[in-house]
Structure formats: structure tokens, C-alpha cells
């Protein structure tokens, strides 16, 4: 089974201080740590596990700058066989529709039975690259995938719905599946894996190689354009309890006792 995974190199922001860039249209990323998108990490593991069971190969593709090589190396170290990075100055400002179009141009010429992506990217949260890509390729898709079972000619998947409910669907192959977190247990990278991955070549393709025009990518090709970014207004603000840890915990206990909760 030949599998393609689409991955994104994203900043870790849950614990970081975020500042908006002077352009007002993006955040400052100099001080942020980047890694593979959380959802893509599960797609990667799923791809490698499927390869181990059903043979074939795994190709990892990203649209990103040279910095994204570390995410591709991670894919290679964890079991991907090939890595492709799509990079061009003209790609800047592309929304996720354009990202899907760029991926489509390259993937349409590759052999595959399955494409795996994350259900969403943790940074911009569009949750659309995979599904747009599937439509452009003319293949079926399923998102929020929690379980994958390839059978003859089709794949049986569990899709996660709200409230913990799942639905079981059969999807004809070739297909695109967008994975939800928790679908598997991503493995750790072995030292040997890292060594091997450093030696592998990353194929780099530009706008010209991809075969799109400048107008078709970047802001001009996009469905949606950022006008400005801002820190969300606070409607309701928590009362912050201050002091040392002793004082704070005493305040918590007193407050709760006052309300009859303990």
C-alpha cells in the first residue's frame, strides 16, 4: 500500500508568549519552537503502521520553508521513505485552499492508494486542506478518523462525531483520510532512525516545478485573506488570586468554604 502523508510545520503556542507582528497580519515567530502539527503526527504514525502491516511506501510532503525540513526529517526518522518540500517565495500568503492546490499538482503524478493528513492544523484551525485536496484529485475522503481498516478495494473507518459517538463508514480506495488525535500511539524516534533520516535526501520543488502560475498561489489565489490579527477582547475575566503559594491556596480554601462548596 503506497501512502502519502501531508504534514505541516507549526509553532508550539499553548505555553508560549504570543506577540503580533508589526504588519498586524501575522504573529512573531522568531522565539517560537516549531514541530510537526499534532494531528499530522498521528497521521504519520498511522501511515507507518499501515506500511508495516501491508507493505508499500510512505511519502511525506509539506508546503513550507527550509525550516520545515526538521518536520520532514522527523517523518523520515519515524519510517517515511521519501520526503518532498514545496517551497517558493510566491507561496507566501497562501490560504489552505491554495496549499491544497499546490499539493494536488504534485500528488496527481505520484502513485498512491491512500493519502493521510491531520484533521486540522493546530495553528490556523481551518480543517480543510485534506478535503479540498481529495475533491481536486477526484477521490473520496473521510475526516475525524479514529480507526482505519483497509479491506479489498475499500477502507473501513470510524469517524469521531460529537460527544464521543463514532460512525463507521466504508470508503472506496484510493481515498484520503484525515486523522483525529488519539487514533494511535505515536512512537518515539530511535537514534538509528535519526541517523538514517539525516542521510536521506529531501526533494525540493518550486512554483515552476509544480506547474501553477503566480496568480494561482499566494494571496491572489486564495479564498480568504487576513486583514488583521488581534488579541481577543476579554468579556469575562477571572479574579486572579495573588500572593505566594501558601497565601493563594488559603484564599482558595476560604473562598470555597465561604460558598459552602467544601
Ligand X SMILES: Cc1cc2nc3c(=O)[nH]c(=O)nc-3n(C[C@H](O)[C@H](O)[C@H](O)COP(=O)(O)OP(=O)(O)OC[C@H]3O[C@@H](n4cnc5c(N)ncnc54)[C@H](O)[C@@H]3O)c2cc1C
Give, as ranges, the residues between 111 and 130 that touch ligand X (CB under 6 A): 119-120
Distance in Å, CB of 18 to another protein, minimum: 5
Distance in Å, CB of 15 to ligand X, minimum: 4
Distance in Å, CB of 70 to ligand X, minimum: 20
* C-alpha span between 178 and 43 (Å, rounded): 7
Which helix H or strand E contains 171, and what residues bound it? strand 166-172
Which helix H or strand E contains 79, and what residues bound it? none
* C-alpha span between 126 and 141 (Å, rounded): 16
Which parts of 6-35 interact with ligand X (CB under 6 A)?
A: 14-15
Torsion sign (Cα): 109, 174, 7, 19: positive
* Among another protein, ligand X, none, partner that 262 touches (CB below 5 to 8 angstroms by kind): another protein
* Among another protein, ligand X, none, partner that 87 touches (CB below 5 to 8 angstroms by kind): none
* Among ligand X, another protein, none, partner that 166 touches (CB below 5 to 8 angstroms by kind): another protein
| Residue 138: strand, helix, or coil | coil
Which single residue brings its beta carbon nearest to ligand X?
A: 14
2 binds ligand X (CB under 6 A): no
Prior bond to 174 cis, omega within 30? Answer: yes
CB 7 within 8 A of CB 39: no
CB 146 within 8 A of CB 181: no
Q: Between 164 and 258, whose beta carbon lies closer to ligand X?
A: 164
* Among another protein, ligand X, none, partner that 192 touches (CB below 5 to 8 angstroms by kind): none
* C-alpha span between 145 and 166 (Å, rounded): 9
CA angle 11/16/20 to nearest 5° reads: 75
Distance in Å, CB of 164 to ligand X, minimum: 8
Which parts of 147-176 interact with ligand X (CB under 6 A)?
A: none
Q: Between 166 and 209, whose beta carbon lies closer to ligand X?
A: 166
Residue ranges that bind ligand X, judged by CB under 6 A:
14-15, 119-120
Amino acid at each position: 500500500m503506497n501512502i502519502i502523508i501531508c504534514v505541516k510545520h507549526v509553532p508550539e503556542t499553548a505555553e508560549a508568549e504570543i506577540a503580533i507582528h508589526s504588519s498586524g497580519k501575522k504573529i512573531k515567530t522568531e522565539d517560537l519552537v516549531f514541530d510537526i502539527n499534532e494531528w499530522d503526527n498521528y497521521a504519520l504514525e498511522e501511515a507507518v503502521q499501515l506500511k508495516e502491516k501491508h507493505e508499500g511506501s510512505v511519502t511525506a510532503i509539506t508546503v513550507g520553508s527550509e525550516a520545515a525540513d526538521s518536520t520532514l526529517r522527523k517523518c523520515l526518522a519515524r519510517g517515511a521513505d521519501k520526503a518532498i518540500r514545496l517551497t517558493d517565495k510566491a507561496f507566501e500568503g497562501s490560504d489552505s485552499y491554495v496549499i491544497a492546490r499546490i499539493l494536488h499538482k504534485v500528488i496527481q503524478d505520484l502513485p498512491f492508494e491512500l493519502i493521510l493528513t491531520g484533521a486540522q492544523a493546530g495553528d490556523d484551525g481551518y480543517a480543510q486542506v485534506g478535503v479540498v485536496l481529495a475533491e481536486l484529485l477526484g477521490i473520496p475522503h473521510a475526516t475525524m478518523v479514529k480507526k482505519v481498516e483497509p479491506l479489498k478495494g475499500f477502507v473501513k473507518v470510524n469517524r469521531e462525531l460529537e460527544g464521543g459517538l463514532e460512525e463507521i463508514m466504508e470508503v472506496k480506495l484510493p481515498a484520503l483520510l484525515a486523522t483525529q488525535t488519539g487514533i494511535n500511539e505515536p512512537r518515539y524516534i530511535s537514534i538509528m532512525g535519526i541517523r538514517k533520516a539525516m542521510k536521506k535526501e529531501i526533494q525540493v520543488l518550486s512554483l515552476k516545478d509544480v506547474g501553477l502560475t503566480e496568480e494561482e498561489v499566494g494571496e491572489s489565489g486564495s479564498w480568504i485573506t487576513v486583514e488583521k490579527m488581534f488579541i481577543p477582547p476579554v468579556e469575562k475575566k477571572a479574579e486572579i488570586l495573588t500572593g505566594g503559594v501558601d497565601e493563594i491556596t488559603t484564599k482558595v480554601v476560604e473562598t470555597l468554604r465561604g460558598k459552602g462548596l467544601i
